Amino acid sequence: MPVLVMKFGGTSVANLDRIRRAAKRVGVEVAKGYDVIVIVSAMSGKTNELVGWVNETSPLYDAREYDAVVSSGENVTAGLMALTLQEMDIPARSWQGWQVPLKTNSAHSAARIEEIPPENINAKFAEGMRVAVVAGFQGISPEGRITTLGRGGSDTTAVAFAAAFEAERCDIYTDVDGIYTTDPRIATKARKLDKIAFEEMLELASLGAKVLQTRSVELAMRYNVKLRVLSSFEEQSDDAGTLVCSEEEIMESNVVNGIAYSRDEAKMTLISIADRPGIAAAIFGPLSEAGVNVDMIIQNISEEGRTDMTFSCPTDQVARAEKALQSAQDSGEIDYRELVADTNVSKVSAVGIGMRSQSGVAAQMFKTLSNEGVNIKVIATSEIKISVLIDRKYMELAVQALHDAFELDKAG
Amino acid sequence: MPVLVMKFGGTSVANLDRIRRAAKRVGVEVAKGYDVIVIVSAMSGKTNELVGWVNETSPLYDAREYDAVVSSGENVTAGLMALTLQEMDIPARSWQGWQVPLKTNSAHSAARIEEIPPENINAKFAEGMRVAVVAGFQGISPEGRITTLGRGGSDTTAVAFAAAFEAERCDIYTDVDGIYTTDPRIATKARKLDKIAFEEMLELASLGAKVLQTRSVELAMRYNVKLRVLSSFEEQSDDAGTLVCSEEEIMESNVVNGIAYSRDEAKMTLISIADRPGIAAAIFGPLSEAGVNVDMIIQNISEEGRTDMTFSCPTDQVARAEKALQSAQDSGEIDYRELVADTNVSKVSAVGIGMRSQSGVAAQMFKTLSNEGVNIKVIATSEIKISVLIDRKYMELAVQALHDAFELDKAG
C-alpha cells in the first residue's frame, strides 16, 4: 500500500482531545488506503519544562544527558497516539527513535540523521498494522545513546521518514493553514499559496518564516519529498494547505511569491578600517567565533588604504559583535577608527523563482519603496531573492506596498 | 571497587532540590570508595499523571503502549540525577532499561526480570565512571519493546541490580527512617528496628507494611542481598535505618519483632454448606477467578453432611465475593443456606522468627487480648506469625496491648 507520512506538532497534540482530533485525521487517510507513518512532537510546553530542568540542574550540561531527558516528551505522545488509534480500531503501535532505529551521528542535541532502515516498520505493515507512530526529534547514536536533532527536529524526522519509505507525501500539521505570500498580521491582503517551490520555501524559512525549519526543507528538496503544510485545527479537503514541491510541478507562478521580513536587524559599520588582503577574514572570523550571525555584507571602495565595512546581524547579537570587534582591535588584528551600530533597521525581502527568468524585479522593488518615501540602507540579492535594510518604522508600510506592487493578492 | 546500590523513590526525587539532596548522599558513598549504581523512580506525581492519560485515552489499554508511556518518568529523573552528579564533579551517566539492558519477559506492566548483564556498566566503571544512574521500574522484552515491572518495580530493580553486581548492600531511600515494631501512629512506643530478618519483613510486607514491596524482599532473600531501608530526609550515619538481612546476621532478637495490622478486613461465612470432597475448590476457585484475595480460611466440623466455611478478605472485595459465590450457588456448583458477611473486622498479627524456637507465644497473645476484653473471631498461624481477626473498634487497643505484652519497645 502507498505510504503517507503525517507529522503533528506540539500544539496539535497539546492534550488528549487534540490527540483524538489528530488521530481522526490519520483515520481518514487510513480509510483512503494509505499505510501511515505518524511523527509526533511532545505535548506543547513539555519540552520547555524538561529543558528548563536541565538548564537549572546543569548550565553547562552534558548533551548526552540533555538528550536522554528532553526526548522523553515525544515518547509519551507516541504511546498515547497509538492507544487513541487502537481505540478507533486502527491497528497501530508506537516506536521510539532507538526502536526503529533512527540512526544518527553522535552530535548530541544537533544530531544528523544517517540512516532509517525501513525493515522493522515494513514488517509490521506487512502483518496488517496500518499506522506506525514514531516519536519525533530523536534517534540513537553509534554508541547506543539517545540523540536529539535540534530545533525543528520533528519536521526533519518526518521528511527523513518520507524519504526512507518513499512516501507519496509528507503532511506537516501545524497551527497555521499554509504558507502565505506574507504575514497576514501585517498585510491583510496576504494570500495562502497553493504551491511553493522548495527554493522559495528555503529562502522564506531562512528569512524567519516559522512554519517549516530550513533543515527539513533542505532534506525534502534533496530527496524530492512532497511536503504539505496544513492546519490540524480545520476540516481538511484534499487540496488544503500549501504544497512545497519541486519547481517543475508548479505550472504558473508569480514572479515574486512572497514578501518576508525580519524586524529586529542591526546595521553595523566599521568606519575607516585599514584595508589589506585578508581583512574580511580578520573581521568576520572573530564574529563567527563569537556566534554572531552576519547576514548582509557591503564593502566600500578603498581610498588611501582605508575603507568602510558594513554588515547586518540580529539586534540581540550587537553587544557580542561589538565585544568581538573591540578585542580584535585591541589585539591588533584589525584597525578601525569607529564602530557605528544602527539598531533601528528591519530587513524586507521579495522572494520568487520567477526572478530567474524575468528582469526588472529589483528596479520595481526600489521604485515602489522610493514612491513610499522609504530610504534603502543596504541591498543584497540572490538568484531568487532581493533583500533591503530599511528604517524599522517603515517596515509594515514596505511589506504592504511591495505586496501590492507585485500583485501577490492575485493567484499566479 | 566494591559496588553499592542506592534507590531513591518518588518523594526523594520529587523536584530538583531533592534530587540534589539525593545526589549529595550518593557523593558521600562515592567518597568512601564505592562504585555506585543509583536506581531512580519518577518524580512523585509524574507516573500517576501518565497513568491517568493512558486510562483516559483507552480504558482497556494495550499494555505495551502503557509501558512505553509510563516508563518515561523514570528516564527524566535518571538524566537529571546524572547531570546533578556531574555538576558535583562525580563521573556519572544515565542508563534507560533497554540500554543496560535489563531483560524481562513479555508480561507487560507486570514483567519479571530475566537477566541483567553487567558488562556495559562494568566497562564504564573500569573507565573511571563512578556512578551509573539507572531508570527504575523498566526493562526490555525479547521483542525489543519497553516493559514495566508493576507496583514497587523500582525496589525490585534495585535489588536485582544488587544481585547482578554482587553489591555490598542495597540502600532503599524513602520517606520513613526504617522499619518499626508497629505503626507509630497507633502505638507511640513503636521502636525502629536496627535489623529485621527477610522472613519477618516478608510477613510484614504482605500484611500491609508499605515500606517495601513483597516482591523485592523475596528477591533479596533469594540472592541474599542486604537491604537497608532509610530516610532520604535526614542526615545519615552509617548505621541509620533498618537492615533487612538473613537470620544468621541477627545475633539477638525478640521472640516477636513486629505487630502488624490490616484495618479493613471482612469475615465471610457460608452457613450450612453441603460438604463433599472438592468443596473447598468449588468455593475458592470461583473466588480466585473473581480476583478476591482470600486470606484466612476455617472449616468447622461437618455434621450430617453439612458444614460452615469461614474466610476473610479485604472489605472492598466483599461485593465481588458475594457475586462469585451467588453465581456458583446458582449453577449448582455449591449449595449453602446463607452467606453472612461481617465487614467490621480487622486483622492483627504478631511476627517474629523467634517463635520458631519458643513456645507459648500464641498463648500469651490470646491471654493479652482476653485481658483487654477483645474477642477473637478467627485465628491463623504460620511458622513465624500469628494473626487474629477481631472487631475493628478494638484494633488500636489490641496493637498497643500486644506491643506492650511482647516488650517491643525494648531492644532484643
Residue A382 confidence (pLDDT): 87
* pLDDT higher than threshold 80 for residue B294: yes
Within 10 angstroms of residue A12's Cβ, the number of other Cβ atoms is 25
The answer to whether residues A23 and A189 touch, using CB atoms and an 8 Å cutoff, is no
Residue A91 confidence (pLDDT): 98
In a domain, A226, yes or no: no
Residue B277 confidence (pLDDT): 85
Kindly provide the residue ranges of all beta strands, DSSP E only, lying in B175-329, ordered along the sequence: 195-197, 227-231, 242-245, 258-274, 297-299, 306-314
- Establish if B344 touches chain A: CB-CB under 8 angstroms: no
- Establish if A50 touches chain B: CB-CB under 8 angstroms: yes
pLDDT in tens, A284-311: 999 999 989 999 998 888 788 899 999 9
- Establish if B68 touches chain A: CB-CB under 8 angstroms: yes
Put simply, the answer to whether A57 touches B93 (Cβ < 8 Å) is no
Choosing from A113, A142, A175, the residue where a domain stops is A175
SS3 assignment, position B120: helix
Put simply, the answer to whether A68 touches B79 (Cβ < 8 Å) is yes
Q: What is the mean pLDDT of residues B78-97?
A: 98
* pLDDT higher than threshold 70 for residue A395: yes
- Establish if A21 touches chain B: CB-CB under 8 angstroms: no
Residue B359 confidence (pLDDT): 81
Q: Helix axis angle, A72-87 relative to A16-31, nearest 10°?
A: 60
- Establish if B163 touches chain A: CB-CB under 8 angstroms: no
Q: What percent of chain A has pLDDT over 70?
A: 99
How confident is the prediction for chain B on average, in pLDDT?
Answer: 93
Grid cell at residue A370: 522610493
| Structure letter (DSSP) for residue A192 | B
Residue A412 confidence (pLDDT): 61
Choosing from A175, A192, A227, the residue where a domain stops is A175
* pLDDT higher than threshold 80 for residue A342: yes
| Nearest residue of B to residue A94, measured between CA atoms | B65
Give B302's pLDDT tier (boundaries 50, 70, 90).
Answer: confident
Amino acid found at B40: V
Question: Where residue B393 sits, what CATH number does that domain have?
Answer: 3.30.2130.10
In a domain, A217, yes or no: no
* Residues in contact with A230: Cβ distance below 8 Å, sequence separation at least 6, in sequence order: A171, A172, A173, A174, A177, A178, A236, A240, A241, A242
Nearest by CB to residue A57, choosing from B69, B83, B96, is B83
Pair A12, A159 in one domain: yes
Pair B149, B284 in one domain: no
Grid cell at residue A186: 501585517
Residue A213 confidence (pLDDT): 83
Residue B209 confidence (pLDDT): 64
Domain span at residue A354? 259-405
Pair A68, A160 in one domain: yes
Residue B233 confidence (pLDDT): 81
- Establish if A147 touches chain B: CB-CB under 8 angstroms: no
| Structure letter (DSSP) for residue B185 | T
In a domain, B88, yes or no: yes
pTM over 0.80: yes
- The distance of B144 to chain A (nearest Cα, Å) reads 7
Within 10 angstroms of residue A402's Cβ, the number of other Cβ atoms is 26
Domains contained in chain B, number? 2
Nearest by CB to residue B87, choosing from A58, A75, A96, is A58
How confident is the prediction for chain A on average, in pLDDT?
Answer: 93
Phi, psi dihedrals of residue A256, rounded to the nearest 5°: -110, 135
In a domain, B18, yes or no: yes
Pair B27, B126 in one domain: yes
End-to-end, the C-alpha distance of chain A in Å comes to: 35
Q: How far apart are CA B183 and CA B210, in angstroms?
A: 11
In a domain, B296, yes or no: yes
Nearest by CB to residue A62, choosing from B72, B83, B99, is B83
A155-169, B201-215, B378-392, range with the lowest pLDDT: B201-215
Q: Helix axis angle, B361-371 relative to B395-405, nearest 10°?
A: 130
Q: How far apart are CA A154 and CA A177, in angstroms?
A: 18
- Establish if A148 touches chain B: CB-CB under 8 angstroms: no
Q: What percent of chain B has pLDDT over 90?
A: 79
Pair A168, A266 in one domain: no
Name the residue with higher pLDDT: B74 or B231.
B74
| Nearest residue of A to residue B63, measured between CA atoms | A83
Pair B154, B264 in one domain: no
Pair B168, B265 in one domain: no
Q: ipTM of this model?
A: 0.82
Phi, psi dihedrals of residue B213, rounded to the nearest 5°: -80, 140
B85-89, B170-174, B301-305, B364-368, range with the lowest pLDDT: B301-305
Pair A124, A23 in one domain: yes
CB neighbour class for B66 (10 Å; exposed up to 12, middle 13-18, buried from 19): buried
* pLDDT higher than threshold 90 for residue A243: yes
In a domain, B388, yes or no: yes
Tallying the residues shown for chain B, one arrives at 412
pLDDT in tens, A276-287: 888 889 999 999
Q: What percent of chain B has pLDDT over 70?
A: 99
pLDDT in tens, A105-119: 999 999 999 999 999
Give A209's pLDDT tier (boundaries 50, 70, 90).
Answer: low
Question: Where residue A164 sits, what CATH number does that domain have?
Answer: 3.40.1160.10
Q: How far apart are CA B73 and CA B76, in angstroms?
A: 5
